[in-house]
Amino acid sequence: MSTKTERWTLRVTPMQDAIVRQALRATGKSLNEYVVNCAIASAADDLADRRVFALSSDEWDQLRAILDQPARHKPRLETLLAEPSVLERQQ
């Protein structure tokens, strides 16, 4: 296990504190353990949506069919992308 060297300082409302402390009593965890475990679990869930795609076999076949289609020429999109963006235009 890695050595803990980083520190978080958090501010909460009295109501937030009361709810978390009630959860601490119910779970028997320390404040540090509870907050870190919940933060890591939530972060993993947030990141999973960006890295993992769970598809059934049929859905995977449909996605592959869509991705395998040849690209279509879109003149309006080509025109739009050829113009300087708002950030590139000189003021």
pLDDT tens for each residue of 21-46: 999 999 999 999 999 999 999 999 88
Assess if residue 21 is contained within a domain.
yes
Assess if residue 52 is contained within a domain.
yes
Model confidence at 70, pLDDT cuts 50, 70, 90, reads very high
What pTM does this model have?
Answer: 0.54
Assess if residue 1 is contained within a domain.
no
Assess if residue 9 is contained within a domain.
no
* Mean pLDDT to the nearest integer, 41-54: 85
pLDDT beyond 90 at 51: no
CA 1 to chain centre: 25
Altogether, the residues listed in the chain come to a count of 91
Structural domains in the chain (count): 1
Per the structure, the complete domain to which residue 39 belongs is given by 14-82
Assess if residue 56 is contained within a domain.
yes
Assess if residue 90 is contained within a domain.
no
Smallest CA-to-CA distance from 32 within 12, 5, 57, 8 is with 8
| Three-state DSSP class for residue 22 | helix
Mean of pLDDT over the chain: 92
- Non-local (6+) Cβ contacts of 58 within 8 A are none
The DSSP call for residue 87 is T
